[in-house]
Chains A and B, each alone.
Chain A
Amino acid sequence: MELLSYVIRKLIGGIPLILGVTLISFVLMVYFGPDKTFELLSKNPTEAEIAQVRAQLGYDRPFLVRYAEYLKEMATLDFGFSDSTGERVSSILSRTIPVSLALLAPGFVLGNLLGIVLGLVAAWYRGGWVDKLIMGGAVVGMSISFLVVIVAFQALFGVVLGWFPVRGWNVHDLPSYAYYVTVPTLASVFVALGYNTRFFRAVLVEEINRDHVRTARAFGARPAEILFRNVLMNAMIPIVTRILFSIPLIVVSGSLLIESYFGIPGIGKVTFDAITSGDQPILKAVVGLTAVLFVLILIVTDILYRVVDPRVSLTGDAR
Chain B
Amino acid sequence: MTRINQPHPVLRVDNLCVEFATTAGQIRAVDQLSFSVEAGQTLGIVGESGCGKSVTSLAIMGLLPKPAGRIVDGSVLLDGQELTRLPEGRLRQLRGAELSMIFQEPMTALNPVYSIARQMTAVLKRHQQLSARQARHRAIEMLARVGIPRPDQRIDDYPHQLSGGMRQRVMIAMALSCQPKLLIADEPTTALDVTTQAQVLRQMVDLQQELGTAVILITHDLGVIAETCDQAVVMYCGSKVEQAPVADLFLQPRHPYTAGLMQSIPRIREHKLDRLPVIEGQVPNLAALPPGCRFAGRCPNREDRCVQQQPPLTERGAQQFACFNPWNGPVES
Contact = CB atoms under 8 A, between A and B. Distances in A.
A214 B100 CA distance: 12
Contacts of B322: none
Among A215, A222, A230, A308, chain B packs the most CB atoms within 10 A around the CB of: A215
Contacts, number: 73
B61 A211 contact: no
22 contacts: A211-B108, A212-B108, A212-B110, A214-B109, A215-B110, A215-B111, A215-B171, A218-B100, A218-B103, A219-B96, A219-B123, A219-B174, A220-B97, A220-B123, A221-B92, A229-B111, A233-B111, A234-B111, A236-B113, A310-B158, A310-B160, A311-B158
Interface string A297-319: 00000000000111100000000
A236 B114 CA distance: 13
Contact of A215 (B94, B103, B127, B158): B103
Nearest to B57: A218
Interface in A83-112: none
A61 interface: no
Contacts of B105: 211
Interface residues of B, number: 30
Contacts of A221: 92, 122, 126
Contact of A218 (B61, B93, B111, B158): B61
Interface string A216-231: 1111111001000110
B101 interface: yes
Interface in A189-225: 210-212, 214-222, 225
A127 B105 CA distance: 27
Interface string B96-122: 110011010100111111110000001
Contact of B100 (A216, A219, A308, A311): A219
A218 B174 CA distance: 11
Nearest to B95: A220
A217 B112 contact: no
Interface string A231-267: 0011010000000000000000000000000000000
Interface of B: 61, 63, 67, 92-97, 100-101, 103, 105, 108-115, 122-123, 126-127, 158, 160, 171, 174-175
Nearest to A318: B160
Interface in A157-199: none
A311 B127 contact: no
Contact of A219 (B95, B108, B160): B95
B113 A310 contact: yes
Among B63, B103, B113, chain A packs the most CB atoms within 10 A around the CB of: B113
Given A218-B95, A218-B96, A219-B95, A211 B112 contact: no
Given A212-B110, A234-B111, A220 B158 contact: no
Contacts of A229: 111, 114, 122
Contacts of B100: 218-219
Contacts of A234: 111-113
Contacts of A225: 122
A122 to B, nearest CB: 16
Nearest to A218: B101
Contacts of A222: 92
Contacts of B113: 233-234, 236, 308-310
Q: How large is the interface on A (under 10, 10 to 19, 20 to 34, 35 or more residues)?
A: 20 to 34
Contacts of B112: 212, 234, 309-311
A234 B103 CA distance: 19
Contacts of B158: 310-311
The 5 closest A-B pairs by CB, nearest first: A219-B96, A220-B95, A211-B108, A220-B96, A218-B101
Given A211-B105, A221-B92, 9 more contacts: A212-B108, A215-B103, A219-B100, A220-B94, A221-B122, A229-B114, A229-B122, A309-B112, A311-B158
Given A214-B63, A214-B103, A310-B113, A220 B126 contact: yes
Given A218-B61, A218-B100, A210 B95 contact: no
Nearest to B66: A127
Contacts of A212: 108-112
A218 B160 contact: no
Nearest to B123: A219
A114 B111 CA distance: 25
Contacts of B123: 219-220
A308 B158 CA distance: 13
A125 to B, nearest CB: 11
B66 to A, nearest CB: 9
Among B61, B67, B95, B111, chain A packs the most CB atoms within 10 A around the CB of: B111
B125 to A, nearest CB: 11
Contacts of A230: 111
